[in-house]
Amino acid sequence: MKIVLCCSDGMSTSILVKKMQTAAGERGLDADISAMPVSTLETNAQDADVILLGPQVRYMLKDVQKEFPSKPVEVIAPQDYGMARGGNVLDFALKLAGK
């Protein structure tokens, strides 16, 4: 499963990505989790199973959903994002993917 997190420049999500990778490893899940700037989604997220937006780019939700109509695209809960709750965000991504 490929999960893409995006924010303004791809840097602020790096801690959350590491926490999600740890949570996936602890659960024995095979997950490719990465972070990137929202501006690079068109070329770098074509094979993503789930796209999650950081709260700071939530205003782009409708545009990203239009760009990727066959993929689940949602905004990460601000509390989970701010506290880097990797397990919670992983659960959210799995739910969106129907897994």
Answer whether 14's CB lies under 8 Å from 35's CB.
yes
From the number of C-beta atoms within 10 Å of its C-beta (0-12, 13-18, 19+), residue 72 rates as middle
Q: In what order do the strands lie in the sheet with 73-75?
A: 32-37, 2-7, 50-53, 73-75
Among all residues, which ones are annotated catalytic? 7
